[in-house]
Amino acid sequence: MRKALRMTGILENLTAAPIGASDPDWWRQATVYQIYPRSFADANGDGIGDLRGILSRVDHLRELGVDAVWLSPFYPSALADGGYDVDDYRNVDPRIGTLEDFDRMTEAFHDAGIKVIVDIVPNHSSNRHEWFRAALDAGPGSRERERYVFRDGRGEHGELPPADWRAAFGGPAWTRVPDGQWYLHTFTKEQPDFNWDDPEVREDFLRTLRFWADRGVDGFRVDVANLLVKDLPAELPSQAELDAMDKDSGTHPLWDRDEVHEIYAEWRKVFDEYDPPRTGVAEAWVGTAERRARYASAEGLGQAFSFDLLVADFDAAQFRRIVADNLEQARVTGSSSTWVFSNHDVTRHATRYGLPPLDGRTVKQGVEWVAAGGPESELDRELGLRRARAATLFMLALPGSAYLYQGEELGLHEVADISAEHRQDPSFFRGAVYDGLGRDGCRVPIPWTSDGPSFGFGAGEAHLPQPAWFAESAVDVEDADPASTLNLYRRALALRRELQAAESLEWLESGRADVLRFRRPNGWQVVTNFGAEPVALPEGEVLLTSAPLIGGLLPGAATSWLRA
């Protein structure tokens, strides 16, 4: 056991074992750690993270105590959208590794008791996918074009796009090809949308699911799961008309159509061919709990991300309502709740919580994104991190699965100052979403050591520049500091296993509107102080606290777990 943990003495009595490898319900309360492969660890020093790098850091994740890893796309890609533009769904980008490396990595995770989830991107391929190239070559009216969404243009010579739709990262959603036709891309022009009415498209994704499941992959994260099926009349609606339509009706021409669940029912059959069944989790920014529940159904993907906490402010009333609603939903659907504060698409939560409250202002759903909540000049870094630790400790005590994003265990802040020449994210170049900064700031390679080239990420310079302050948050520095965020996460994840017997909680009277208090079935209590004034804790042994107690009181922006 590591020195720092021995010093705290807290891990000594923990005997709870990791979840069983063959337990079909392993996902229900799993802690899943998201790896953004190009920015995790670089084994060959070319500046790009790779699978061997991940392999070399399996121990970090085992010691952290996660149950599963989810890998963002590592498939061959020109990186028009960080790898979410896939050239080949059944291969590894040669800059990242080989299929053999993938197998070795998966085996190492499994040996460490950690499941592996991969990202499936079914709405669109890249424009370099062999099917899209074949579609361009084959010309209008061909079988090859039916796998995507091609249309003739409007205007006398078809010189106008079929509709005035905007793409998710700005610019038009229809692009013209040399022979005059246009194709639909909800995201960048390098990401042509598939036509999911085409049986071959459906078949091919089943093949992809089996390909990875056969290699031992345990589950799938499904990218923009609420798109895929579209119903496009001959006369297309305008963008204004689309915007005016109800996105939660199940009949919007593009988003969240009811028929999409026929696809996931087919996928479920494939998942259930395996023992234990493979799992799915939908990324679906839908408008209501009822719409989300459809993705989480046992006949479908089985689980769906709830982004409710992610878009909330650090606020007791908001947190309480969200937790209560989500637990109720889980009870009704039979799925488990999901909790997430950070991922590769949003400003890191340590930073969000140090900015002025969102107040719902910048939070949008669908093709738009969660923004930073304010300019960097207004950032209170210390408060942000303090709140992030408190929020995370609150979240890790909840029933359900917790999704963590690489680097949050170090308390990393968003990197705001990346010069335009170094930026990669299309949302930075093509539109002013994310407060104009794009998503590169949470994708900067993480620091493993306080010195050395790229802070131990690799032997060369990292593909996105790292700020000098990364040194303070490097794994080696935090490993040696008992009060570090890393050691807080390790202790919380180890203790969390003892909380997972029953998926319920009981709210307790806290006596203050800005303090939440609940009890889990094992008797442990959790108190979070969202305010500034210290608050008295219930009688009991303090197991863990996100900030030191002051005279026995829980200070502001802090959470404690207690054996009461």
Contacting positions for ligand GLC (CB under 6 A): 81-82, 84, 121, 187, 223-224, 283, 344-345
State the nearest-atom distance from the C-beta of 452 to ligand GLC, in Å: 29
Report what 44 binds from ligand GLC, Ca ion, none; CB cut-off 5-8 Å by kind.
Ca ion
Query: H-type helices in 365-500, by residue range?
Result: 381-396, 426-429, 475-479, 485-496
Q: How far is the CB of 105 from Ca ion (least distance, A)?
A: 14
Q: How many CB atoms lie within 10 A of CB 550?
A: 11
Nearer to ligand GLC, 163 or 340 (CB): 340
Those residues whose C-beta lies under 8 Å from the C-beta of residue 147, and which sit 6 or more positions away, are: 131, 135, 194, 195, 198, 200, 201
Residue (46 or 514) nearer to Ca ion, CB? 46
Q: Whole-number minimum distance, CB 121 to ligand GLC, in Å?
A: 6
SS3 of residue 561 by DSSP: strand
Catalytic residue chosen out of the listed positions 42, 223, 256, 408? 223
Choose the one of Ca ion, ligand GLC, none that binds residue 93, judging by a C-beta under 5 to 8 angstroms depending on kind: none
In degrees and rounded to multiples of 5, residue 312 shows phi and psi of: -90, 155
Helices (H), 296-402: 316-333, 349-352, 381-396
Nearer to ligand GLC, 188 or 485 (CB): 188
Of all residues in the shown chain, the one whose CB is closest to ligand GLC is 84
Output the smallest distance, CB 295 to ligand GLC, in A: 14
Provide the minimum distance between the beta carbon of 454 and Ca ion in the complex, in angstroms, as a whole number: 11
First to last CA, the chain: 27
- Annotation marks residue 223 as catalytic: yes
Query: In whole angstroms, what is the distance from residue 372 CA to residue 352 CA?
Result: 6
345 binds Ca ion (CB under 5 A): no
Binds 121: which of Ca ion, ligand GLC, none (CB < 5-8 Å by kind): ligand GLC
Q: How many CB atoms lie within 10 A of CB 157?
A: 8
Closer residue to Ca ion (CB): 403 or 448: 448
Cis peptide before 375 (omega within 30 of 0): no
204 binds, among Ca ion, ligand GLC, none (CB under 5 to 8 A by kind): none
> Which of Ca ion, ligand GLC, none interacts with 50 (beta carbon under 5 to 8 A by kind)?
Ca ion
Angstrom distance (rounded) from CA 417 to CA 301: 38
CB of 487 to Ca ion, least distance (A): 29
Is the Cβ of residue 67 or residue 345 nearer to ligand GLC in the bound state? 345
* CB burial string 63-83: b at 16+ within 10 A, e below: bbbbbbbbbbbbbbbebbbbb
Complex with ligand GLC: residue 224 or 402, whichever CB lies closer: 224
- For residue 304, CA distances in Å to 141, 279, 462 come to 37, 11, 33
Residue 42 interacts, among ligand GLC, Ca ion, none and using kind-specific CB cut-offs from 5 to 8 Å, with Ca ion
Instruction: Report 5-64 residues binding Ca ion (CB under 5 A).
Output: 42, 44, 46, 48, 50
Q: Could you give the CA distance from residue 162 to residue 160 in angstroms, rounded to a whole number?
A: 6
Measured between alpha carbons, how far is 211 from 25 in angstroms, rounded to an integer? 22
Spell out the residues 6+ positions from residue 516 whose beta carbon is closer than 8 angstroms to its own: 316, 319, 320, 394, 507, 510, 526, 527, 528, 530
* 224 binds, options Ca ion, ligand GLC, none, Cβ within 5 to 8 A by partner type: ligand GLC
Minimum distance, C-beta of residue 85 to ligand GLC, in the bound complex (Å): 7
Cβ proximity of 325 and 318 under 8 Å: no
Please choose which of ligand GLC, Ca ion, none residue 48 contacts, taking the beta carbon within 5 to 8 angstroms, the exact cut-off set by kind.
Ca ion
Smaller CB distance to Ca ion: residue 48 or 304? 48
Catalytic residue among 25, 273, 417, 451: 273
Identify which of 225, 171, 161 has the alpha carbon closest to the alpha carbon of residue 196: 225
Name which of 370 and 526 has its Cβ closer to ligand GLC: 370
Q: Closest residue (Cβ) to Ca ion?
A: 50
Query: How far apart are CB 480 and ligand GLC at their closest, in Å?
Result: 34
Q: How big is the site for Ca ion, counted in residues (CB under 5 A)?
A: 5
Residues forming the site for Ca ion (CB under 5 A): 42, 44, 46, 48, 50
**Catalytic annotation, residues:** 223, 273
